[in-house]
Amino acid sequence: MTPSDRIRVRVRVPAKVNVQLAVGAARPDGFHDLANVFLAVGLYDEITVTPADTLRITCEGPDAGQVPLDATNLAARAALALAQRHGIDPSVHIHIAKDIPVAGGMAGGSADGAGALLACDALWSLNSSRDELLSICAELGSDVPFSLIGGAALGTGRGEQLTPLDVGGVFHWVFAVADGGLSTPTVFREFDRLTAGTPVPPPAADPALLDALRTGDAAALAGTLANDLQPAALALRPSLADTLAAGTTAGALAALVSGSGPTTAFLAKSRESAAELAEALLASGTCRTTRVAASPARGATVLEGLLNGY
């Protein structure tokens, strides 16, 4: 093994749930202004980058077959964008160990974009500032900047302008993973269809929800969870109503569609009640599988890299 064979950088990136997703009217550019309260949750993808002869992507994990391995993958786009900015060769092998549900409304693709960006920045010893990385993230997609910073944040604009938020405790979640994904643009188009002809107020963060996050009060957070995309996701995938009802019946503090869905999120009182809730949801037969995770979680983090001796 030559020294260059051993050069690699491994980055871990969390999934997210939107505890509030307030959506405004469609803008002239087709995007929607949002008040998007992101909370990172402890489900992670791991991105490993190694030097290669050409830019290529591989993926492992139960849903790996659903992940595009071409230049449309946000991880490839991140490597290309960073290399282009610095006028360097983007040849790198990006391996994604995928644990975040695919096309599930949990920002799995965005996580891979943010993770690949941070990993390539370290591999190529570019030492980009956080602001430089955040600006590339925003070019890649509305949710990508949050995947980089993690924790909790209010996203305004199309969701990419972030204000970090304090979180005063640990929240326990169950995620019910549905069969198949939902396309985010399709869900936003359905939102437009459902709200056509009615005034859509400008989106605003709910102060009671921000207080609940700050104090770590799960019961208070449960009373304020809100997702304006939920009616659209339910219209496109009516069976999600059964999943939400099954979780509520099984004792969830609150239930909602995660982002544009179709993953549904259930807030639990404790780690133990989350485990029980996950079992009940699976037994209800209304979802493909369940995942238990706590929040907040750290943003994209280098686990192994050049600092470890190379």
What is the contact surface with ligand C5P in residues (CB under 6 A)? 30-32, 34, 141-143, 158-159, 184-185, 188
Single-letter amino acid, residue 240: L
Cβ-based nearer residue to ligand C5P, 77 or 98: 77
Question: Which residue among the candidates 16, 33, 45, 121 is catalytic per the annotation?
Answer: 16
Cβ-based nearer residue to ligand C5P, 8 or 98: 98
Cβ-based nearer residue to ligand C5P, 34 or 94: 34
Q: Is 143 a catalytic residue?
A: yes
Q: Give CA separation, 186 vs 87, 146, 193, 258, 263, in Å.
A: 36, 22, 10, 15, 15
* Residue 109 Cβ vs ligand C5P, minimum distance, rounded to whole Å: 8
* Residue 190 Cβ vs ligand C5P, minimum distance, rounded to whole Å: 11
Instruction: Yes or no: say if 46 and 144 are a contact pair by the CB < 8 Å rule.
Output: no
Who contacts 72 (Cβ-Cβ below 8 Å, separation ≥6)? none
Question: Which residue among the candidates 45, 99, 143, 228 is catalytic per the annotation?
Answer: 143
Tell me the backbone φ, ψ of residue 112, rounded to 5 degrees: -65, -35
* Residue 34 Cβ vs ligand C5P, minimum distance, rounded to whole Å: 5
Say if residue 231 is preceded by a cis peptide, omega within 30 of 0. no
* Residue 133 Cβ vs ligand C5P, minimum distance, rounded to whole Å: 17
Cβ-based nearer residue to ligand C5P, 31 or 298: 31
Q: What is the DSSP letter of 143?
A: T
CA distance 83 to 159: 25
H-run or E-run covering 264: strand 264-268
CA distance 232 to 16: 20
Instruction: Yes or no: say if 235 and 182 are a contact pair by the CB < 8 Å rule.
Output: no
Cβ-based nearer residue to ligand C5P, 159 or 262: 159
Q: Is 269 a catalytic residue?
A: no
* Residue 113 Cβ vs ligand C5P, minimum distance, rounded to whole Å: 9
Catalytic residues: 16, 143
